[in-house]
Amino acid sequence: MASGSPAPTRQDRRRERTRARLLGAARTLFARQGVEETRINEITEEADVGFGSFYNHFDSKEAIVEAVLADSLGAQGAALERATRELEDPAEVVSVAHRHFVRLARTDPDWAWLLVRLEVSHNVMVAALGPHAQRDLERGISDGRFAVPNARVAFFATGGALLFVMRAVLDGDAPASAERDHAEGVLRMLGLTAADAAEVARRPMPRIRVAA
Amino acid sequence: MASGSPAPTRQDRRRERTRARLLGAARTLFARQGVEETRINEITEEADVGFGSFYNHFDSKEAIVEAVLADSLGAQGAALERATRELEDPAEVVSVAHRHFVRLARTDPDWAWLLVRLEVSHNVMVAALGPHAQRDLERGISDGRFAVPNARVAFFATGGALLFVMRAVLDGDAPASAERDHAEGVLRMLGLTAADAAEVARRPMPRIRVAA
């Protein structure tokens, strides 16, 4: 919160609680029955709030889908940050992040579908994971571990590569080795030699705990 | 056409003409006013066919969008194939294809938006460009010019990278050098050294003529 902003009023807190309940209900329903099959009135019933109050928080179903996704991507980003804080090699940090998300396409396909099939994917990924990804990339560049023609292009190219590989995993169209193979490709793109990329992508994965 | 299949009847030909008119009308309207703003009855009016006959050819607006995109991607793929037929270096063939599509995001943003914003992007790209991309990739691998951990993963990763870089160009979020920088990244991913990738991505582009 910006310093000098007033303390939240009781009304602010109630508003925040309603929003959190709507998000929780939407997350539950999307996982249970899919986004397409979920209607706004089901979300408000599950959240036990009036139908009209949905629109005090979100313009449309699309808007709450985007918010659910942004929240969970934020939690994934924070978990990755904690898990990789002690790693000294910036290449390993990037490798772990990409492997984690490819793995999620296998271990949590409902969530992964939410990410890959929506028109909002690009915006949400850039907003929620962008700062993490960009910082990891810049760290590798300033350490001399990465060398890319343009950091901005590398940022988008590696993000898009990740999304398509996740989609291929969801479609059952990717090999069992996709996680490692994809990380190798990303590391090569960032300037590692093929041999270095192969070695880094094979290091053991740290434990990644996502806050509920 | 499969050998032995019967010659098309007059009715078949009429049906094919109606479909082509619907596609042409849709293409015109999408470019003029955008996909969201185009209604099915506007497409049938522009094509000068009855409203009901739309549904003899397409299930929904989404279906005709997908068909328009598949047609134009097919034409782009064929043009690229003609333009790169004489190139001896498989790395150059891939570089030219990626540079061509990133360039299209600048020179034909209406078309590029159609490609990048739709849920169908992944399917349509895989279906329409997949065979070209896969053949180029395999040629490079069998020539020993490319070396990748897994060709399937490389296929999806380079496709996703392309789509996100095109989107960044459309959003005004990519540098002027995006075309070349992206091609360099793809070539590195395919196993070229950074120096080789930089050299290939800077070769002059051949002329690419897309059939109307």
pTM confidence score: 0.82
Domain identity same for A180 and A159: yes
pLDDT digit string (tens) for B164-193? Answer: 898 899 889 999 999 999 999 999 999 999
Between B58 and B124, name the one with better pLDDT: B58
Question: How deeply is A130 buried, as exposed, middle or buried, from its count of CB atoms within 10 A (0-12, 13-18, 19+)?
Answer: middle
Domain of A21, in residue numbers: 10-58
Domain identity same for B126 and B161: yes
ipTM above 0.90, yes or no: no
Domain identity same for B47 and B77: no
Residue type for position B119: E
Q: Which of A123-127, A182-186, A207-211, B1-5 has the lowest mean pLDDT?
A: B1-5
Domain membership flag for residue A5: no
Domain membership flag for residue B161: yes
Between A88 and B115, name the one with better pLDDT: A88
Domain membership flag for residue A2: no
pLDDT on residue A66: 86
Domain identity same for B74 and B50: no
Domain identity same for B82 and B20: no
Buried-exposed string B121-133: b where 16+ CB fall within 10 A, e elsewhere: bbbbbbebbbebb
Q: Number of Cβ pairs closer than 8 Å across A and B?
A: 132
End-to-end CA gap in chain B: 23
Chain B touched by A141 (CB under 8 Å): no
Rounded Cα gap, residues B5 and B11, in angstroms? 16
C-alpha angle with apex A152: A146 to A157, nearest 5 degrees?
80
Residue B99, CB half-sphere, CA atoms under 13 Å: how many?
27
pLDDT on residue B69: 86
Domain identity same for A141 and A115: yes
Contact criterion met (CB < 8 Å) for B149 and A122: no
Domain membership flag for residue B197: yes
Instruction: Kindly give the interhelix angle for A121-128 and A151-170, rounded to the nearest 10 degrees.
Output: 120
Contact criterion met (CB < 8 Å) for A153 and B164: no
Domain membership flag for residue B71: yes
pLDDT digit string (tens) for B74-111? Answer: 888 889 989 999 999 999 999 999 999 999 889 888 77
The CATH number assigned to the domain holding B38 equals 1.10.10.60
Q: Which residue of A has its CA nearest to B146?
A: A194
Domain identity same for A34 and A139: no
Chain B touched by A167 (CB under 8 Å): yes
Contact criterion met (CB < 8 Å) for A156 and B162: no
Q: What is the mean pLDDT of chain B?
A: 89
Domain identity same for B33 and B76: no
Q: Which residue of A has its CA nearest to B171?
A: A123
The CATH number assigned to the domain holding A192 equals 1.10.357.10
Return the residue matching tokens 């998000």.
Answer: A23
pLDDT digit string (tens) for A135-174? Answer: 999 999 999 999 999 999 999 999 999 988 988 998 899 9
Mean pLDDT of B56-62: 92
Which backbone phi and psi does A138 adopt, to 5 degrees? -65, -35
Band the pLDDT of A129: cuts 50, 70, 90: confident
Q: How many domains does chain B have?
A: 2
A149 with B102: CB under 8 angstroms?
no
Domain membership flag for residue A211: no
pLDDT on residue B1: 45
Band the pLDDT of B116: cuts 50, 70, 90: confident
Domain membership flag for residue B183: yes
pLDDT digit string (tens) for B19-54? Answer: 999 999 998 898 788 888 899 999 999 999 999 999
pLDDT digit string (tens) for A8-41? Answer: 888 888 999 999 999 999 988 987 888 888 999 9
Contact criterion met (CB < 8 Å) for B157 and A186: yes
B205: DSSP letter: P
Token digits for B129? 């460009």
Domain identity same for B117 and B54: no
